[in-house]
Amino acid sequence: MAASRKLRSVNSGILAPLRGKRLAVGLSGGVDSVVLLHMLHALAPQFGYRLSAAHVNHGLSPNAEGWEEFCSVFCARLKVPLKILRVKVSKERKGLEAAAREARRAAFLKLEVDAIALAHHLDDQAETVLFNLLRGAGLAGASGMAATSKLGRLPLLRPLLGVPRSEIRAYAAAHGLGWIEDESNADESLTRNFIRRRVGPLLETRFPRWRESLARAARHFASAEVDSQNLLRGYLKGKGLRAPSEAKLLEMLKQLGSANAAVTHDGKVLRLYRKNIYLNRSEKPLVFKPRAWNGEARLPLPALGGELRFKRVRGGGIASKLIKGKRLQVRLRAGGERLKPDARRPSRTLKNLFQEAGVPPWERERMPLLFCGEELVWAPGLGVDAKFLSAGRAPGILPDWQPSS
């Protein structure tokens, strides 16, 4: 049958290294895992692996015992050894799906095998990518699932990842295979089911090959993620920092893809802002009390990691006459401050001005601001408020913020 030939040729390259190895198939009893086990059983003589199956009984469905019995009968018919793994699913801090997945993965890790094969297919890949994109995932999430990855110490294989669900069902029909249906697959309160049952069919009316397109996009994202790994590894090496493990590197990339993320590594803090990586010393929680400025040329601010320097100039800076005898103080942002660096334009919030200047959010919170009473006079990188600006050749004072190296 065409369906049989199609499945037998998909991702066979990932089976070649398994000669003489123990390969376990995650068998739920659904059509996807039934087809995977049937296919791998047929290919075992060609690739020389020792095949077994593992069924995880979560105990969540009233039909769980029936599913277990089905898997036992199916494996007995194929003469494939079956391991039944009974688990308890705790969902105290996680959703049911996530908790079940975690329990399942923990159970698989107890198997005495050399690799595990799962039945994820093209539709699963497309739905995963779409789901992750809708959650605002970075490169790692948008990359979807890989044909080969790791589950702890074990290689994790997905031989059907390029095969659509329709061809898997055609294969099952061609070989007279039965399977079970999980009643939870009809529960559209679960996002993945909603995407599968509602969003997917709707997309297909306008984009018939949306699954293939999203799977192709996932490959592009995965390639970009590899490039990002290499770039980050090279950046850390260039800064004299220790090379992270592969797992730590992946976690760092994942975190850096989140807004306002701060990743600690080798005593430093890495942050990403507008596609640029910033490397700072590991910082303690900021404690800063307002400091009076009494006209000194330098004002050390160790809590902020630098010092303010004041240069006397003419025709620029803060007009000396406007602040003479006034109370000047260095404070941090409290929120809502406004500055008018250009006399021709209205005052604007510091937040907008810092954003426009490309100042990263974490640096804005540590910027020393100079106030005269309750009026903001000057901000680092933004300049002097037009109201306090020295005109002509009148004497002025030019502040300069110098962070420690």
Interval 26-49: pLDDT, tens? 999 999 999 999 999 999 999 999
Residue 324 has pLDDT above 70, yes or no: yes
The structure tokens listed for 347 are: 């005052």
The structure tokens listed for 116 are: 């595990």
pLDDT band at 313 (very low <50, low <70, confident <90, very high): very high
Same domain for 160 and 103, yes or no, is yes
Residue 319 has pLDDT above 60, yes or no: yes
Single-letter amino acid code for the residue at 186: A
- Report the C-alpha gap between 150 and 118 in whole angstroms: 12
Same domain for 196 and 232, yes or no, is no
In this prediction, residues 125-136 reach a mean pLDDT of 88
With beta carbons less than 8 A apart as the criterion, state whether 122 and 215 touch: yes
Same domain for 328 and 193, yes or no, is no
**With left for phi above 0 and alpha for psi between -120 and 50, is residue 188 left, alpha or beta?**
alpha
Count structural domains, the chain.
3
Residue 226 has pLDDT above 80, yes or no: no
Instruction: Indicate the residue among 231, 262, 281 that finishes a domain.
Output: 281
Same domain for 303 and 274, yes or no, is no
The gap between the terminal CA atoms of the chain, to the nearest Å, is 69
pLDDT at res. 5 = 47
Same domain for 33 and 55, yes or no, is yes
Same domain for 22 and 153, yes or no, is yes
pLDDT at res. 1 = 40
**Higher pLDDT, residue 333 or 250:** 333
pLDDT band at 328 (very low <50, low <70, confident <90, very high): very high
CA neighbours closer than 13 Å in the CB half-sphere of residue 173 = 8
Whether 172 maps to a domain, the answer reads yes
CB neighbour list of residue 121: distance below 8 Å, 6 or more residues apart:
32, 160, 161, 162, 163, 164, 165, 168
Same domain for 83 and 166, yes or no, is yes
Same domain for 11 and 155, yes or no, is yes
Question: What are the C-alpha distances in Å from 336 to residues 266, 348, 349, 370, 376?
Answer: 36, 10, 6, 15, 11
pLDDT at res. 329 = 94
pLDDT at res. 180 = 93
Whether 362 maps to a domain, the answer reads yes
Same domain for 225 and 195, yes or no, is no
Question: What are the C-alpha distances in Å from 263 to residues 225, 243, 249, 257?
Answer: 17, 14, 11, 11
With beta carbons less than 8 A apart as the criterion, state whether 184 and 62 touch: no
With beta carbons less than 8 A apart as the criterion, state whether 42 and 195 touch: no
Same domain for 15 and 101, yes or no, is yes
pTM comes to 0.59
- CA–CA–CA angle 332, 336, 341 (5° rounding): 80
Q: Give the domain range for residue 345.
A: 291-403
Same domain for 228 and 313, yes or no, is no
Whether 286 maps to a domain, the answer reads no
Instruction: Indicate the residue among 184, 213, 242 that finishes a domain.
Output: 213
Lowest mean pLDDT segment, chosen from 11-20, 191-200, 247-256: 247-256
Same domain for 170 and 26, yes or no, is yes
Report which of 346, 335, 331, 336 is spatially closest to residue 378, judged by C-alpha positions: 331
**Torsion on CA atoms 121, 123, 124, 127, rounded to nearest 10:** 160
CATH number of the domain enclosing 207? 3.40.50.620
